[in-house]
Amino acid sequence: MPVPPRGWVPPEVSARLARAAATLWAAAQNEADQAFERDRERFETILCDERALRAETLVMADGLLAQVTALEAELAETRRHLQAVRTDHFWDRVVRDIHAILPADGSMSVREIADRLGADLAEEARTHEEEWSLKALRKKIEQRIFHKRLFARSDPELYRRRRPQDDLQPRIGHAHEPEAPPEAE
């Protein structure tokens, strides 16, 4: 029997091998298509979950931003209130110092009071909204006089400590014209 040449395959074997290869190729292609479809569905699910998570995160971030904005506004208001309280406390301290400076049975002008108060209060006043001045000191004294607290006038330009008998006397000014209250602090 003659030996077939090398690399030669009989036609029926070649046909069978071709059909087997085509079947294997189709099976491999089908398996690859199914794997691709599973991966695509999995990635689509992941993408959908990521988008939902992103949307939820954005909603949370918007909520946090709104909270931060509200807290910043509250903090600013608290700081304003704290500054107002500190300012009130400062001026109350100044008024108490003025009361302590005034002699028990004498009077002083605003200039004399300011000179005796000292530079430390004038320096501290810089941290408060209202400017340190003779006008500001006069205003604080006049407010107390209007509300019948601590001080009284002994003369239009002189101030003294308030006495119990001051409540029995009419205010200095026109009897028919009530005195307007000084500006609020």
Q: Quick check: is 140 in a domain?
A: yes
Q: Quick check: is 3 in a domain?
A: no
CATH number, position 96: 1.10.10.10
Per-residue pLDDT tens over the stretch 39-64: 999 999 999 999 999 999 999 999 99
Q: Quick check: is 100 in a domain?
A: yes
Beta strands in the chain (DSSP E): 108-109, 151-155, 158-161
Q: DSSP state, 106? A: -
| The pLDDT of residue 176 is above 50 | no
% of the chain beyond a pLDDT of 70:
90
Per-residue pLDDT tens over the stretch 123-158: 888 888 788 899 999 999 999 999 999 999 999 899
Let me know: does 161 contact 151? Beta carbons within 8 Å.
yes
Residues whose CB falls within 8 Å of the CB of residue 127, separated by 6 or more in sequence, listed in order: 86
| The pLDDT of residue 79 is above 50 | yes
User: By C-alpha distance, which of 116, 125, 115, 166 is closest to 145?
Assistant: 166
Parent domain of 95: 86-167
Q: Quick check: is 160 in a domain?
A: yes
The tally of domains found in the chain comes to 1
Mean local confidence (pLDDT), 26-38: 95
Q: Quick check: is 66 in a domain?
A: no
Q: Quick check: is 132 in a domain?
A: yes
Q: Quick check: is 40 in a domain?
A: no
User: By C-alpha distance, which of 140, 111, 142, 103 is closest to 125?
Assistant: 140
Compute the C-alpha angle 62/68/74, nearest 5°: 140
Mean pLDDT (the chain, rounded): 88
Per-residue pLDDT tens over the stretch 100-128: 999 999 999 999 999 999 888 888 888 88
| The pLDDT of residue 68 is above 90 | yes
Let me know: does 164 contact 157? Beta carbons within 8 Å.
no
Q: Quick check: is 176 in a domain?
A: no
Residue 155, classed as helix, strand or coil, is strand
| The pLDDT of residue 174 is above 50 | no
